């Protein structure tokens, strides 16, 4: 189990095998919908206009109060669209799972009714999974927007395949989520083996991606944009913006995951430590502004509850020093003392964003020697590493 603690590493090997889709396969796009009348048709069309694959769209209306169900039924004039209607509102998890049970495709996408797939997204993801049978989940870069969709990149510049448990261990060690949601394509046979989403308020998607990684390898498509994620005040993701809400949900996701997989003690401990440290870092954002806030105290209690030794760590000592400054120093002095930590935090956040934008993960990928070249991730002595590949066919949509 100790090998699961290391982050995935990149091999210094470059491959030029072409990755066209080998045969036309069926992809099931499951679209849960609740009161998204104004967005639903755009989401469905983004799936139906995918090329290089066959597509079925399953819209599951969760007892919407607006005209969503009427829109869905009009869209079902296309024989590739099926509509399921919940008599009662059961929430996003049960709604998706109902659609999943009806899916017939070899691959599955969960697409919220307010999000969209970019052109060619399904072909690109399916090609990687056909070329790497051990991969159960492929994700790429999502474009977030509020007003006006930004242009999407369609050229694949490379892809990385991680051994699933190594990718999972890295997520637990970092205590973070690197996936938004609509940019993911999963292998249906893996979902049939492990089940669908579990009842979590805001992190049901994340827990499923982590659970897939416990049973299959994970791939990331580089250079292209796989989905548009719409940000608006009514979305579930916006409702979890408060760190106190999100961190509790993050904790619940890791606990739910670890309760469901074997030999999870190291993963659980790693995740508890990471989420507790994350809570202190969030609290320090206020304290470094010279503010002794109720939210910071609540986050401190949450951190200690998750992982009691957290205050004895370097991050814990820095937090306690900032806490004393904010409560006892003059405001201007406390504010000045927090200036350097604020600047350092901003630089670290910018570096993390750049790494995620290009590699799909926040932590740096350290180069490994070429001795592992040619071993697919998940097989042989180099299973904990990642195989980084570049396409000869160009990867254009």
Chain mean pLDDT for the chain: 85
**Are the C-beta atoms of 47 and 57 separated by less than 8 Å?**
yes
Identify the band that residue 393 occupies on the pLDDT scale cut at 50, 70 and 90: very low
pLDDT tens, position by position, 334-347: 889 889 988 998 89
Give the single-character DSSP code of 7: P
Q: What is the CA radius of gyration of the chain?
A: 22
Copy the structure tokens of residue 31: 């679209």
Residue 193 has pLDDT above 60, yes or no: yes
pLDDT (mean) for 73-85: 98
Please compute the mean of the pLDDT values over residues 109-137 and round it to a whole number: 96
Q: Which residue has the tokens 């416990």?
A: 214
Cα dihedral 357/359/361/363 (nearest 10)? -100
* Residue 122 confidence (pLDDT): 97
Quick check: 300 and 283 in contact, CB under 8 A?
A: yes
The pTM of the full predicted model, rounded to 2 decimals, is: 0.86
**Mean pLDDT in residue range 83-108:** 97
- Percent of the chain whose predicted confidence (pLDDT) is above 90: 67
Report residue 13's pLDDT band, with 50, 70 and 90 as the boundaries.
very low
Closest alpha carbon to 59 in 14, 113, 124: 113
Strand partners, 109: 29
Instruction: Give the Cα-Cα-Cα angle 302, 306, 309 (nearest 5 degrees).
Output: 105
Q: What is the pLDDT of residue 17?
A: 42
Number of H helices, E strands in the chain: 14, 12
User: What gap in Å lies between CA 271 and CA 94, rounded to an integer?
Assistant: 26
Is residue 275 a contact partner of residue 172, using CB atoms and an 8 Å limit?
no
Distance CA 178, CA 353 (A): 10
| 191 in Cβ contact with 105 (< 8 Å) | no
Pick the most confident of 278-282, 290-294, 309-313: 309-313
142, β-bridge pairs: 227
Summarize the confidence of residues 289-299 as an average pLDDT: 83
Of 79-88, 105-114, 166-175, 288-297, the range with the lowest mean pLDDT is 288-297
Tell me: the pLDDT tens digits for 41-76? 999 999 999 999 999 999 999 999 999 999 999 999
**How many whole angstroms from its chain centre is CA 114?**
17
pLDDT of residue 383: 36
Concatenated DSSP letters of 113-178: TT-EEPTTHHHHHHHHHHH-TTEEEEEEEEEEESSSPPPPP----EEEEE-HHHHHHHHHHHT---
**Is residue 110 within a helix (H) or strand (E), and if so which, with residue range?**
strand 107-110
pLDDT average, residue stretch 95-109: 98
Q: What is the pLDDT of residue 391?
A: 57
> Residue 157: what pLDDT?
92
385 has pLDDT over 80: no
Q: In a 10 Å sphere around its CB, with 0-12 CB exposed, 13-18 middle and 19+ buried, how is residue 350 labelled?
A: exposed
Q: What is the pLDDT of residues 298-321, one digit of tens each?
A: 999 999 999 999 999 999 999 999
With a cut of 80, say whether residue 88 has pLDDT above it.
yes
pLDDT at residue 19, rounded to an integer: 56
9-23, 82-96, 377-391, range with greatest mean pLDDT:
82-96
Percent of the chain with pLDDT over 70: 83
Give the pLDDT band (50/70/90) at residue 374: very low
- The pLDDT assigned to 300 comes to 95
* Residue 301: predicted pLDDT: 96
């Amino acid at each position: 189990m100790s090998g699961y603690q290391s982050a995935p590493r990149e091999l210094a090997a470059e491959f030029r095998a072409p990755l066209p889709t080998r045969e036309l396969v069926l992809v099931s796009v499951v679209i849960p919908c609740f009161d998204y009348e104004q967005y639903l048709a755009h989401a469905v069309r983004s799936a139906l206009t995918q090329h290089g694959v066959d597509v079925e769209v399953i819209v599951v209306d969760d007892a919407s109060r607006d005209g969503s169900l009427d829109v869905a039924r009009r869209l079902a004039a296309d024989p590739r669209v099926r509509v399921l209607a919940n008599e009662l509102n059961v929430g996003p998890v049960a709604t998706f799972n109902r659609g999943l049970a009806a899916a017939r495709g070899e691959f599955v996408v969960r697409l919220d009714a307010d999000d969209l797939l970019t052109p060619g997204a399904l072909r690109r993801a399916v090609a990687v999974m056909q070329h790497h049978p051990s991969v159960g989940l492929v994700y790429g870069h999502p474009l977030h927007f509020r007003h006006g969709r930004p242009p999407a990149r369609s050229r694949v510049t490379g892809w990385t395949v991680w051994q699933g448990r190594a990718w999972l261990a890295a997520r637990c060690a970092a205590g973070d989520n690197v996936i938004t949601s609509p940019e993911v394509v999963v292998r249906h046979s893996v979902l049939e083996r492990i089940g669908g989403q579990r009842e979590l308020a805001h992190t049901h998607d994340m827990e499923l991606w982590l659970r897939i990684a416990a049973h299959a390898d994970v791939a990331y498509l580089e250079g292209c944009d796989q989905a548009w994620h719409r940000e608006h005040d009514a979305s579930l993701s916006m409702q979890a913006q408060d760190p106190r809400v999100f961190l509790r949900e993050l904790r619940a996701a890791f606990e739910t995951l670890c309760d469901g997989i074997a030999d999870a003690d190291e993963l659980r401990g790693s995740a508890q430590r990471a989420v507790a440290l994350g809570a202190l870092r969030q609290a320090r954002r206020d304290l470094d502004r010279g503010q002794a806030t109720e939210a910071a105290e609540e986050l401190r209690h949450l951190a200690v509850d998750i992982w009691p030794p957290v205050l004895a760590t370097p991050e814990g000592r820095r937090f306690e020093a900032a806490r004393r400054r904010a409560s006892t120093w003059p405001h201007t002095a406390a504010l000045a003392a927090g200036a350097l930590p604020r600047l350092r935090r901003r630089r670290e956040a910018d570096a993390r964003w750049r790494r995620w934008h290009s590699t799909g993960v926040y932590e740096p990928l350290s180069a490994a020697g070429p001795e592992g070249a040619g071993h697919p991730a998940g097989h042989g002595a180099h299973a904990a590493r990642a195989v980084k590949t570049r396409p000869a066919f160009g990867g254009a949509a």
